[in-house]
Structure 1
Amino acid sequence: MKKCFTYACSLSLLLIALTGKSQSGPAHYTGKIIDTHVHIAVEEGESNSMSTERTNTLKDVLAFMSTASIVKAGIITMAQKGNMADTRLRNDSVIALSKKYNSLIPICSVHPMDGEEAFAEMERVHKQGVKIIKLHPNYQRFDVAAPEVAALAHKAGELDMVLLFDSYSPLDGNEIGKLIMLAVGNQKAQFIFAHMGLVNFPQLLTIDALKKYPWYKNNIWLDVSAVAPILGDSPFHDQLVWTMRKIGIDQFLFGSDFPVFDPLAAIKSVHAMGFTQEEEKKIFYTNACRLLQLQP
């Protein structure tokens, strides 16, 4: 009996040595997290507009941050075309919240088709410390290839700002290519492609090709909001992880897309993808610190 027990223990130790794994599984990063993609209700009646499962009031945002090791959250608003009064109101709302709560990062918005008024608004919020502008081709109903969008991206470059784009369109299969070309043509600006193009994520491998050229400034970042919980444990898992590593884990950010997704579940979906602890730390925290010039 003693020999059998000794043999079993030896076999277990041998398997651990060969595979590098114990029954408890790989260790995950458990430190500070920056969530770069949080939608917050800024007007009464908006708290139920994005999810049937949860509301997104300030109270809701602060509550999930306290339970998920999220030390900072980028709170998003979105502008509507031709209504600059509402745009300024929305932007002022997230700026005010960020001044009251140091853990909140204001992500303001303009509409590309508002032209010079949009540029003036970008300058106004930039003077108040805003670094990120949110643009949503689907919600705001514009074509990424429109000259007005290129002009706005040029303005963002002048102001050293980051443009956060929703990067999945069910109607425009060329949108990933348009976004990449926009970033290539405006390398003084930084770009975040939210959701990694979702089901179109393989098209992002173009970024790996761009890295071979000396003129490319590596100004494209990607957040894993939506794509991690939807495709992270799907048959596309291996291809998704391979694509991310091919592009470079240094360019990826964590985003929950709250309230559409539960932040704790979003965090677990990244853990389930099989990254190393160091890779997870970059995705969850240090990459965002580098992009936003935050002290780690």
Structure 2
Amino acid sequence: MKPTRRYALTVFLLLYVLLVHAQKDTAHYHGKIIDMHVHIAVMPGEENTMSGERNHTLANIRTYMAAANVEKAAIITIAQKGNMADTRQRNDSIIALSKKYPSLIPVCSVHPMDGADAFAEMERVHKQGVSIIKLHPNSQGFDVGAPEVASLAKKAGELHLVLLFDSYSPVDNNEIGKLIMLAAMNQDTRFIFAHMGLVNFPQLLTIEALKKYPWYKNNIWCDISAIAPVLGHSPFHDQLVWTIRTIGVDQFLFGSDYPVFNPADAIKSVHGMGFTRAEEQLLFYGNASRLLQQ
């Protein structure tokens, strides 16, 4: 082949590759992101307790946010039963950080078995602008079906608070059903089911049945933290995407679950799931923005 032809062919192939790459790139949403699931270390010694690869100090979180174009990040703490002094200290730390750095959304916590003390703490943090309370049945050691949880859910509705529940239990196969019933019985409370139930995600299709009733207020959101990088490229991929679209993409939120997962990998996993650019915009930004403004 003559040099001029070889050169022309090389240029053509290079332009073709660049064109294909550009088309793929524009097929995805690359705007600002709201990360609805970020763990932060607020007590000395906590920074290396959730991942062997990265710690979750404030400095590392802010560095990740800048690198990944994350406009806001919901920073989470988790309360333990019977230690209200520790609970208040954790919540105050989260609130103080959010006031110093407006890009941080405070996600405070109480323990449902602390009863009236938990209610008082919910009222206290609500007065300081907090709109989300984190509950973790696994690490906090409670049953979602307990009457104390129902009472707390009712109180959250009265205060117009969102309840963020970890929604995967390795020991209670009925937990998704219990969470859905809790939401159905507390229509004035908004719920986020973190991790979308993980391997139990098909059970979320029960939400479709709720939509048949006129009293249902569509008060359940799910975040796709953990489940996107774990199952997004698995043999369950098609079923997972179908489930999200069937329930409604507008009820799902992006979460990185930092530091357990690398945020860049979490974002990439969502890009790889086959959603349209418009759907990705909702997942990464639009849905969370709408929820936080309600």
Q: With the length of structure 1 as denominator, give the TM-score of the two structures.
A: 0.91
CA distance in 2, matches of 1:242, 1:212: 19
CA distance in 2, matches of 1:156, 1:206: 23
CA distance in 2, matches of 1:268, 1:145: 36
Amino acid at match of 1:268: K
CA distance in 1, matches of 2:229, 2:81: 31
Find the residue that maps to 1:191 and give its secondary structure: strand
> Does 2:155 match 1:158?
no
The aligned counterpart of 2:51 is: 51
CA distance in 1, matches of 2:260, 2:87: 23
CA distance in 1, matches of 2:69, 2:281: 13
The aligned counterpart of 1:221 is: 221
Q: Which region of structure 1 is more displaced relative to structure 2, 211-220 or 227-236?
A: 211-220
CA distance in 2, matches of 1:44, 1:25: 44
> Does 2:115 match 1:115?
yes
TM-aligned CA deviation for residue 25 of structure 1: 3.0
TM-aligned CA deviation for residue 213 of structure 1: 1.2
CA distance in 2, matches of 1:22, 1:60: 34
CA distance in 1, matches of 2:233, 2:194: 19
CA distance in 1, matches of 2:90, 2:44: 12
The aligned counterpart of 1:8 is: none
CA distance in 1, matches of 2:165, 2:52: 24
Count of residue correspondences: 275
TM alignment of 1:113-262, pairs within 5 A: 113-262=113-262
Moved runs in structure 1, 4+ residues, more than 4 A? 21-24
CA distance in 2, matches of 1:208, 1:149: 24
Gaps of 5+ in 2: 1-18
CA distance in 1, matches of 2:187, 2:261: 32
Q: Deviations over 1:125-162 (max 9, x none)?
A: 00000000000000000000000000000000000000
CA distance in 2, matches of 1:138, 1:253: 22
CA distance in 2, matches of 1:136, 1:230: 20
Q: Deviations over 1:52-92 (max 9, x none)?
A: 11000000100000000100000000000000000000000
CA distance in 2, matches of 1:187, 1:266: 31
Find the residue that maps to 2:24 and give its secondary structure: coil
The aligned counterpart of 2:81 is: 81
TM-aligned CA deviation for residue 22 of structure 1: 5.4
The aligned counterpart of 2:287 is: 287
CA distance in 2, matches of 1:227, 1:100: 31
Gaps of 5+ in 1: 1-20
> Does 2:46 match 1:68?
no
Q: With the length of structure 2 as denominator, give the TM-score of the two structures.
A: 0.92
CA distance in 2, matches of 1:101, 1:141: 32
CA distance in 2, matches of 1:147, 1:22: 56
The aligned counterpart of 1:18 is: none
Find the residue that maps to 2:29 and give its secondary structure: coil
Find the residue that maps to 2:87 and give its secondary structure: helix
CA distance in 1, matches of 2:274, 2:248: 15
